[in-house]
């Protein structure tokens, strides 16, 4: 059907519809909007919580790494002191060797000197390896520190923009909720309380379209007499199966059928 004609028919149809039914449709529309905004708000908040948790974990990892670096550095320092002591012992042994005159004693001293030399050179090699490993580890800690700072800045920016957006969303939700209060005041109390009960039990949907003789909420086939009445829209009807209020408008039904 021609879209202009269809929207004209739609307007005419809605003019004849029961005002409480029209209010119910609007109420459902408002609740859908509120739900959408709340979902957005909760996602934003959850995202911030997630980001903060990542930061805490990164900070903890970094603290562990720094601890290990401190341990390795102090081990290195101890080894350096050992090496200095070995070098000193080596010096003494050399002095002693010069003073020795007997061959037997000389051979024993020479052996001691060799052992000391070997130990000293092993220690030196180990220290070198240790220094290289420490340097590499320190570089990795520094890289992680830089990364953490980067993420911290990103989280700070995210917190600022999300905070702003969260405030906006709260304001929007508040505005829509007050619109709802105004509409509710014009409606019969029993209809509103039934609406609220159904919306709570049926995934936030208490008013659904009926198209091609079916409830679009649960796909249940309506009794023919009820389907006719629902199409006329003069009174309130609800689906016997899912208990949702039913409405029909030509445009919505056409869109639902596709
Ligand atoms: Zn139903």
Residue 70 lies in a domain: yes
Q: Is residue 104 part of a domain?
A: yes
Q: Examine residue 99 and state whether it is found in any structural domain, yes or no.
A: yes
pLDDT of residue 234: 96
State pLDDT tens for residues 177-235: 999 999 999 999 999 999 999 999 999 999 999 999 999 999 999 999 999 999 999 99
Residue 249 predicted with pLDDT over 90: yes
Å from CA of 231 to ligand 1 middle: 15
Ligand 1 centre from 35 Cα, in Å? 21
Identify which of 247, 254, 252 has the alpha carbon closest to the alpha carbon of residue 18.
247
- pLDDT of 258 above 80: no
Q: Is the pLDDT of residue 1 over 80?
A: no
Kindly state whether residue 144 falls inside one of the protein's structural domains: yes
For residue 148, report the distance from its CA to the centre of ligand 1, in Å.
53
CATH number reported for the structural domain that contains residue 110 in this entry: 1.10.287.1490
Helix 189-201 with 19-99: angle, nearest 10 deg:
40
What span, in angstroms and rounded, lies between the C-alpha atoms of 63 and 135? Answer: 17
217 is a domain residue: no
Give domain status of residue 18, yes or no.
Answer: no
Q: Other C-beta atoms within 10 Å of 140: how many?
A: 12
Distance of CA 228 from the midpoint of ligand 1 (Å): 16
Residue 167 lies in a domain: yes
Number of domains in the chain: 1
Q: How far is the CA of 243 from the centre of ligand 1 (A)?
A: 6
- CA 181 to ligand 1 center in whole angstroms: 26
CA 80 to chain centre: 48
- DSSP alpha helices (H): ranges in the chain? 3-16, 19-99, 103-185, 189-201, 224-232, 250-257
CB within 8 Å of 134: residues ≥ 6 apart: 69, 72, 73, 76
Query: How far is ligand 1, taken at its centre, from the CA of residue 255, in Å?
Result: 18
| 207-211, strands of its sheet edge to edge | 214-215, 207-211, 245-247, 237-238
Structural domain harbouring 94: 37-187
Q: pLDDT digit string (tens) for 4-18?
A: 888 889 899 999 999
Query: Is residue 87 domain-resident?
Result: yes
End-to-end Cα separation, the chain, in angstroms: 12
With contact defined as beta carbons under 8 Å apart, do 237 and 226 qualify? yes
């Amino acid at each position: 059907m021609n879209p202009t004609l269809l929207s004209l028919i739609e307007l005419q149809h809605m003019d004849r519809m029961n005002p409480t039914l029209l209010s119910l449709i609007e109420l459902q529309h408002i609740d859908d909007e509120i739900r959408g905004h709340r979902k957005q708000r909760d996602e934003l908040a959850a995202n911030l919580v997630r980001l903060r948790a990542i930061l805490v974990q990164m900070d903890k990892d970094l603290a562990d790494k720094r601890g290990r670096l401190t341990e390795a550095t102090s081990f290195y320092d101890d080894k350096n002191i050992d090496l200095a002591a070995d070098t000193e012992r080596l010096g003494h042994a050399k002095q002693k060797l010069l003073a020795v005159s007997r061959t037997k004693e000389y051979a024993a001293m020479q052996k001691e000197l060799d052992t000391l030399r070997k130990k000293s050179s092993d220690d030196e090699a180990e220290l070198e390896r240790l220094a290289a490993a420490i340097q590499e580890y320190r570089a990795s800690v520094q890289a992680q520190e830089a990364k953490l700072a980067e993420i911290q800045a990103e989280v700070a920016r995210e917190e600022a923009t999300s905070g702003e957006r969260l405030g906006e969303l709260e304001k929007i939700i508040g505005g829509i909720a007050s619109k709802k209060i105004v509409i509710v005041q014009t409606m019969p109390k029993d209809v509103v309380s039934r609406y609220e009960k159904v919306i709570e039990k049926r995934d936030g949907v208490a008013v659904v379209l009926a198209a091609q003789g079916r409830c679009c909420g649960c796909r249940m086939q309506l009794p023919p007499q009820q389907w006719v009445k629902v199409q006329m829209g003069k009174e309130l009807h609800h689906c016997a199966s899912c208990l949702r209020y039913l409405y029909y408008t030509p445009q919505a039904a056409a869109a639902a059928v596709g």
